[in-house]
Amino acid sequence: MPSAITAGRVREALEAATEALAAAGVETPRLDAELLLAEATGRDRAPLAAEPEAGVVPDAGRRFSEMVRRRIRREPVAYILGRKGFRRIELAVDRRALVPRPETELLVEIALELEPRTALDIGTGSGAVALALADELPTCRVTATDTSKQALTLARENAERLGINGRVRLEPGTVPEGRSFDLVLANLPYVRDDEWEGLAPEITRYEPREALVAGAEGIEVIATVAPAAVAALAPAGSLAFEVGAGQAGAVAELMLDLGFRQVEGRQDLAGVPRVVLGRMGSG
């Protein structure tokens, strides 16, 4: 990489990093360069980019250079920064769990619409959905589960850091036995086996495969968990699954077969049916 990355001015550092990231196939090279330089210098991104002639001290330049090298290897920006914003909260993130996606915020939006007294978040990962729900609907008693011990540890760390530790019950597994919930939310693996190799290097090289890949059809994990999730619903309860592109129809049929009286799809910002919501009640 050009020496301008390790010393000189903001403009030179950003131009050199943007060029290097673009050559590595990064989709948003300028944005990523700005985010990494802001982290390296300890400044906010907007004022930093607005002062292109400002100097970059050598220590910050070295930090920036190392971050850019990691990004060139296609490590996700969130893992490099060690954090990711989700709704109103900021989560610590690392390779123990997936980077929270904007489309997963749909699950929280559904919970806010339904205002459950109790909710279960299956496959909590970093704790994004459960902690956001506890933050925005403090009257709801939230339980969150994951089959990964490492992910649960990360979720606990986030709960403690956010001061929500006593308001979300974190447990290993999927569906707790002997308890019922007004709402069950689930972001489970839904990538088909044959899709894995075609995913971005940020995913295949760094994110946990077991949190993404479900099987030959992509809905195997959802189909396995769904009956237990239904059994855990309170009367007139609701169940919402995040699904992959093209899976909403099959998951909706599954939920109708399981006895839901109403089933609907919710689209993400790209217009993809991303969440399938089933309601046992008639209202």
pTM passes above 0.85: yes
Q: What is the 3-state secondary structure (H, E, C) of 32-44?
A: HHHHHHHHHHCCC
| CATH number, span 3-73 | 1.10.8
Provide the token pair at 227.
């009956």
DSSP state, residue 109: H
Domain pair 3-73 / 96-279, same fold: no
96-279, what's its fold? Answer: Rossmann fold (3.40.50)
DSSP SS3 for 106: helix
Residue among 157, 180, 177, 175 at smallest CA distance from 237: 180
* Per-state percent for the chain, helix, strand, coil, to nearest 5: 45, 20, 35
- Per-residue confidence of the chain (283 residues) as pLDDT tens digits? 544 565 589 999 999 999 999 999 999 999 999 999 999 999 999 888 889 999 999 999 999 999 999 999 999 999 999 999 999 999 999 999 999 999 999 999 999 999 999 999 999 999 999 999 999 999 999 999 999 999 999 999 999 999 987 889 999 999 999 999 999 999 999 999 999 999 999 999 999 999 999 999 999 999 999 999 999 999 999 999 999 999 999 999 999 999 998 999 999 989 999 999 999 975 4
